Structure 1
Amino acid sequence: MNDQIRAQEVRLIDDQNNQLGVLSTAAALRIAGEKGLDLVEVAPQASPPVCKLLDYGRYKFETIKREKDQRRKQNTTKLKEMKLRPKVADHDFQTKFKGVRQFIEQGEKVKVTIMFRGREMVHQDIGRRLLDRVADAAKEIATVERAPIMEGRNLFMILAPNHRPHPQPSAPVPVKEGV
């Protein structure tokens, strides 16, 4: 930018994106000084290099702001985990499933894990049936992203939401009448 440009000639673009042609670097710097702008090299690999007249501080501010907006709009899905045991009671299953449903409705992926201890390892079919029951109960709101897999003493599967999360409703604003 400005005095750091080493090329003898540059192709100059003004602040309204009009091409001013190929000029010497000194002439381009003079024009930038007259307009109170900076001469910034935007395409140094071109022949001759392309330079643009702009307010460098404002340009940096806008690029940083644009990058922050892109990061904010980026959809990041987290992986939540719900752990169950093969001997889970029906009411406990319903309570755990409410948590799974909440996570999925918020747009999160859910890893449902069945933990086996001791001789429960012999009855892995009970764990698979339990995971099938979870998948069946969640089929309207989620799809099975990863089928049940045994990893050590844990059997797990991953559920992913079918749709985008619903925005959280904000509190209604009270309206005063007759004031």
Structure 2
Amino acid sequence: MAVFMNEQIRASEVVLTGLRGEKLGIVSREEALGMARTQGADLVCTSLMSSPPPCSLMAKGKAKAAAQKEAASARKAAPGQAAGKSGGKEKVKELRFTAHIEEHDYETKLRQADKHLRSGKPVQLVVQASGAKEAAAAKTVLERLVADLKEAGVKETGLQTGGKGSKVKLNPR
């Protein structure tokens, strides 16, 4: 839910509620903003579904803190809800590579991918390329990774190649 405060409110008139919940009726936006300033408060609108929108005066900072808290709890609840609906779908570990990766870096990332796959977790392998010349190198690195990980994982998607690089998702065997 979006919270609009002070100058973000664009309606010419608002239905205003005071600091202690008293109904102040329909007032102009400028008058409501003036009242908020004189009382050291914020003018807060949580719904734009009606005309004029309902707004209330709130202690300075309370509305923003409440909105942040609500957004945080929504983010926290979202992964759990999604997992419940889709049958426990887990997060995919993404490992990023560059098209011209050093051998020891390649080996390190390969071990990480192997470890995740063997523990039963899917892996998304992304090879970044900065241009058309590197795109072929990116695809080569990705094909090598898939070949090296064939005992631990199986491709869910084919090699996906785009302007910024290539990617593939591997599921555990």
Q: Which TM-score band (shorter chain)?
A: 0.3 to 0.5
- TM score, norm. by length of structure 2: 0.47
